Amino acid sequence: MVKKTFTFSKNQIFWLIMASSPIGLSTLPREINQYTGQSGWLFIILSLAIIILFTRIFLILPERYPGCSLLNILENIIGKWLGRLLFVALIAISIILTGLGMRLLSDGIIVHILFHTPGWSIILSELLIVMYAATKKEETLARFNELIQPLLILTLFTIFLLVINKANFSDLKPIVAKGIIFDKGLFTSLYSYLISWVFLFFLPLMPNFDILKKGVFQGLVFLTITVGLLFIMAISLFGPVEINYIEYPSIDMARLVEIPILERIEIVFLTSWILYGFSLNHLTLLSASVGFKTLFSKTPFSRWVIFVGVIVFLVAIYPNDIEHTSHLARVIQLVVTVILFFIFPLIVLIDTVKRKVKQN
């Protein structure tokens, strides 16, 4: 069990959920529009309903096992070896997500800021910073996100206000467009929620279930509002056709600002975008490190951070190009979807059946 030296407040849990939104948030409006057209905002609302339902299902676990680590919970429900196997699989997913996240971030930095810079040098620089932050453990993660996430959200909403006069909201019609690919549209709209399960690695640091539940659900709702407004503004500013050819709609949106002094606000947004990536990679790398520390409590935590960092670097430099990276990311997203919507509910069902058998 993780040593309880620090506990997350409700606000910090809220901002950790916001931090778990992937770096793909910048490309999400384009990806949703490719499958749904103007009516993609309906999928965003539907995805919130789905994720709240399934999040409530797997939050039954910390409710039934207060103060226990995720490893303890899994071992109690599905046995020691199977529980450890699943726990290691979750650690592996966190490591792969960190590596792919760093690769995507470095590719974006090269395209928009540091032209012709070797990608491995950007990855290594970011990795060293993230590893240093991770050695300071959970409090650094919580404090950083509690401070920086509100500033990032404020930047995004400021851009909305500065360009809203250019928006054509009639492009949001028809509400239900022809040729919608329902399954792909829904799956794509779930991207922003797929990493929200990583907070389960920090269960012993959650003060009580009520605070955990409120922080998680408030974070999910606010994340939906942010994603929804981003999609609506992107469609209204660029139209349902042009947006399909814009790699990062949120960055191009910032370039529409024409107010003196603020006309280069995309630089601020690019900085915010990098901080989003840092926050997400910090979260997943720390989750994997905490996972190993939970498995092998006698080994110093800093050694696990170094071990995870080395594997993350190897994962980050493995893809050939951004297309290969995106393909691998989609595979991992599919795996995480199976975990969220099949494995966790199955574990809750097994625990429920075992409890009823004991009662009888």
pLDDT, tens digit (0-9, with 9 covering 90-100), for 106-140: 887 887 777 888 889 999 998 999 999 899 888 88
Find tokens 């467009």 and name the residue. Answer: 177
DSSP state of 281: H
CA 324 to chain centre: 20
The answer, yes or no, to whether residue 25 has pLDDT greater than 70, is no
Please report how many Cα atoms fall inside a 13 Å half-sphere around the Cα of residue 354, on the Cβ side: 11
- Phi, psi torsion values for 307, nearest 5 degrees: -60, -50
In order of 128, 144, 273, 287, 337, the CA distances from 121 in angstroms are 11, 24, 19, 24, 32
Q: Is 321 helix (H, G, I), strand (E, B) or coil?
A: coil
Q: Are 205 and 71 in contact (CB under 8 A)?
A: no
pLDDT on residue 262: 66
Where residue 293 falls among pLDDT bands split at 50, 70, 90? Answer: very high
Judge whether 30 and 246 are in contact, CB under 8 Å: yes
**Lowest mean per-residue pLDDT among 137-141, 225-229, 245-249, 301-305:** 245-249
Q: What phi-psi label fits residue 4: left (phi over 0), alpha (psi between -120 and 50 degrees) or beta?
A: beta
Residue of 31 and 2 predicted with greater confidence? 31
Find all residues with CB under 8 Å of 308, minimum gap 6, and list them. Answer: 95, 98, 285, 288, 289, 292
Whole-model pTM: value is: 0.85
Burial class (CB in 10 A: 0-12, 13-18, 19+), 149: buried
What is the rounded average pLDDT of the residues 246-250? 76
Give the DSSP letter of residue 181: -
What is the pLDDT confidence band of residue 1, given thresholds at 50, 70 and 90?
very low
Given a cut of 70, is residue 26 above it in pLDDT? no
Cα(208)–Cα(7) distance, rounded to whole angstroms? 10
Residue 2 binned pLDDT confidence (cut-offs 50, 70, 90): very low
Answer whether 99's CB lies under 8 Å from 316's CB. yes
Half-sphere exposure of 157 (CA within 13 A, CB side): 10
pLDDT digits (tens, 9 = 90+) for 194-238: 888 888 899 888 888 889 999 999 999 998 888 888 888 888 888
Residue 290 contacts residue 2 (beta carbons within 8 Å): yes
Q: What is the pLDDT of residue 284?
A: 92
Residue pointed to by tokens 């931090």: 19
Q: How confident is the model at residue 3 (pLDDT cuts 50, 70, 90)?
A: very low
Are 271 and 181 in contact by the 8 Å Cβ rule? The answer is no
Contact call for residues 152 and 275 (beta carbons, < 8 A): yes
* Residue 39: predicted pLDDT: 66
Dist CA 87 CA 85 (whole Å): 5
Contacts of 66 (CB under 8 A, 6+ apart): 208, 209
Report residue 337 as tokens: 């979807």
Q: For residue 35, give every residue at least 6 positions away whose Cβ sits within 8 Å of its Cβ, in sequence order, or none.
A: 180, 181, 184, 185, 188
Q: Which are the contacts of 41, defined by CB distance < 8 A and separation ≥ 6?
A: 172, 228, 231, 232
